[in-house]
Structure 1
Amino acid sequence: MDNNQHKNRPLNVLNVAETIKGGIATYLDTLERLSADFNCHFSYLIPAAQADQLNAGRKHFHAYSRAGFGTLKLALAIVHQVRLQSPDIVFAHSTFAGVALCLARPWLGRKTKTMYCAHGWASFRDRSKLVTLLTRLVETGMSYVPDSVVEISRYEYDKNRRSGFSRNCTLIQSSVLDRKDAPRPQSRDDGHLHILFVGRLDREKGYDILLEAIRILQKTRPEYVYHIVGAPVLANLALEKLDAWNVRYYGWIDQAHIDTYYDRANVLVMPSRTEGFGLAALEAFRSYVPVIASNRGALPDIVEHAVNGLIFNCTASDLAEKLENLNHDTLKRYALAARAAYVERFSPVQFIAGYQKLFSHLRQLINQPTWRQHFLMQKDKR
């Protein structure tokens, strides 16, 4: 292989995640399916129990848990996998994997470059001021460790730039690939309003807000039907379920089948208390499904109020009010605008271009000679 061929060979990228259920699995699936566009070969170090969440051939597994020295164990698993695989780049996804990458970084070797994507910075979550301050200090320091940090939304990118984050932070707005089957607007008018929730059933995603809003609407809109896709990620999280004919739980659904549930829905609800981006909103938009989203995080940058959905103030009463006043004619108008927003603002075109530019930059860093190689080259010239 000559020098030019070596420089242009596919990059070997090891993706590392503590957990992938939900949005991270969708994100990794998008990377995998676009690997040829990036001239990359992706592999994955993920929990063995979640292997079925990702359709990829090069999967490796870890037994990480948050208990005890879990983060240190994940760092050791990263070092071990790097020594077995010798990847060009290690790409950590989410907070705990990012901390593990920072711990592992000194043992990865100079030629191995590192990337990190928080998929929603922890310091933006709904916590006490002291915890938020301490978390922000840690995350600011973490932004200086990897060779590149990927920001998934303009909202977080702008706030982090003002907060002193590293200039290695790059904005690559998240996206989802379009459906394989051609989506089409549907009337979805069978006498019921079909309301969909997709995500982790936890406080951060506002599952409790949704439950309270359903309780309110059961009195005023008993004809509404609720489709809840998802489950708790943490095994020790107690899950409250509503036992009613019109509240239906499906658990986790494979990405290959998720569009079936969007096709049943009139509207997607996202009552998140924090949201780094909100991939479910794009999944809805590409299927002509408008979104009712909280006014938290990046969601107001995606959902245009009274255009492709509605924004509410993250309370059950306001969510219930927004849902109670919906009608099919308004939703049909929102649905057309939702699909237009996906095509014009959130299709993968900019996502692909952003990663192509970033991987090109990292390729240049990888191909730079070490100080020893540089010294030998200068010696040969003499």
Structure 2
Amino acid sequence: MNVIHIAETVKGGVATVINNLTENNEIDSHVICPESQSKEIYCAQKTLFSRTGRNISSLSSLFLVIIKTLKYNKFDVIHLHSSFAGFIVRALFAFKLINKKKYKVIYTPHCFSFIMDTKKWKKKVYIYIERILAKQTDCIIANSYYEYKCAVDAGISKNKIKVVYNAVSLDGQEKLERIKKCNENEVQKEKINILFVGRFDKQKGYDYLLNVIKVADVSKYTFNIIGDSVHDVFEKIEKENVV
């Protein structure tokens, strides 16, 4: 079986999911991802596109790479990751620019756009687009029951949605245990230690974290923050109790 994974950005959880899925040696995997983030993906077969942000130039580059890759390669399954890749490829199917019948299409939004904290009219637009493009999808993967419920409430057929929880590989768990042992001596036992692991984004609650840090008692709490930003634009905070 030949599977191609397509992502407009892979920083953070998307890369972890793709790497876990492409570890299966019985499946011939291929990945389309940004050149600037290619080191995040371990799959040997990669096609890269130029990405400088979420702008017309970057999306055009992704569009052309998708067209060319699908034209000159044979795949059984197309797995789309996040909303932009999901929109571009399924729009190509909708406008008959690519023959949908050749493929089984899986779409993992990694949190639907309409779940985000945004203006009501934008949410309505996102819901409308997702409902239309769901017709070009064989299976939609929700990473939680909450995401599943939001999709069904938005009018997306529940028959197309499957809940698949994100997982951590055993190798990854072993690494975490080793890191934990190395850091045990660094934990300030006289304080409450709070760990945040995630993308520095409002969608992940980073704004709430910053607000908590600003008012938390320095003598009682220590914050360990691990992660990165997709857009490289985020508020940094420097306090003696923030690592």
AA of the residue aligned to 2:55: A
**Residue 166 (structure 2) aligns with:** 174
**Residue 355 (structure 1) aligns with:** none
1:140-187 deviations in whole A, cap 9, x for unaligned? Answer: 112111222222211222332343313322222222223235949988
Q: Contact 2:14–2:81 at 8 Å: present in 1 too?
A: yes
Please point out which of 219, 228, 231 is paired with 1:231: 228
Aligned pairs, how many?
Answer: 231
AA of the residue aligned to 1:117: T
**Residue 252 (structure 1) aligns with:** none
Q: Contact 2:218–2:240 at 8 Å: present in 1 too?
A: no
Please point out which of 51, 55, 59 is paired with 2:46: 59
**Residue 137 (structure 1) aligns with:** 128
Q: Contact 1:72–1:103 at 8 Å: present in 2 too?
A: no
Q: Contact 1:144–1:165 at 8 Å: present in 2 too?
A: no
**Residue 20 (structure 1) aligns with:** 10
- TM-score normalised over the length of structure 1: 0.55
**Residue 74 (structure 2) aligns with:** 86
Helix, strand or coil at the partner of 1:75: helix
**Residue 211 (structure 1) aligns with:** 210
Q: Provide the C-alpha distance between the structure 1 equivalents of 2:42 and 2:61, rounded to a whole number of angstroms.
A: 25
AA of the residue aligned to 1:158: K
Query: Structure 1 residue 197: deviation in Å?
Result: 1.4
Which structure 1 segments of 5+ residues have no match? 1-10, 249-382
1:235-264 deviations in whole A, cap 9, x for unaligned? Answer: 4x2x3322223212xxxxxxxxxxxxxxxx
**Residue 83 (structure 2) aligns with:** 95
Matches within 5 A, 1:1-382: 11-33=1-23, 35-36=24-25, 39-64=26-51, 65-68=53-56, 70-105=58-93, 106-109=96-99, 110-166=101-157, 167-178=159-170, 179-180=173-174, 183=177, 190-217=189-216, 220-235=217-232, 237=233, 239-248=234-243
1:194-238 deviations in whole A, cap 9, x for unaligned? Answer: 222122222222222212211211xx3424222211222114x2x
Percent of aligned pairs with the same residue?
27
Q: Provide the C-alpha distance between the structure 2 equivalents of 1:209 and 1:230, rounded to a whole number of angstroms.
A: 15
- TM-score normalised over the length of structure 2: 0.84
Structure 1 runs (4+) deviating above 6 angstroms are 184-187
Q: Provide the C-alpha distance between the structure 2 equivalents of 1:208 and 1:164, rounded to a whole number of angstroms.
A: 30
Which protein has the larger Cα radius of gyration, Structure 1 or Structure 2? Answer: 1
Helix, strand or coil at the partner of 1:102: helix
CA RMSD of aligned residues (A): 2.4
Which structure 2 segments of 5+ residues have no match? none
Q: Provide the C-alpha distance between the structure 1 equivalents of 2:108 and 2:236, rounded to a whole number of angstroms.
A: 32
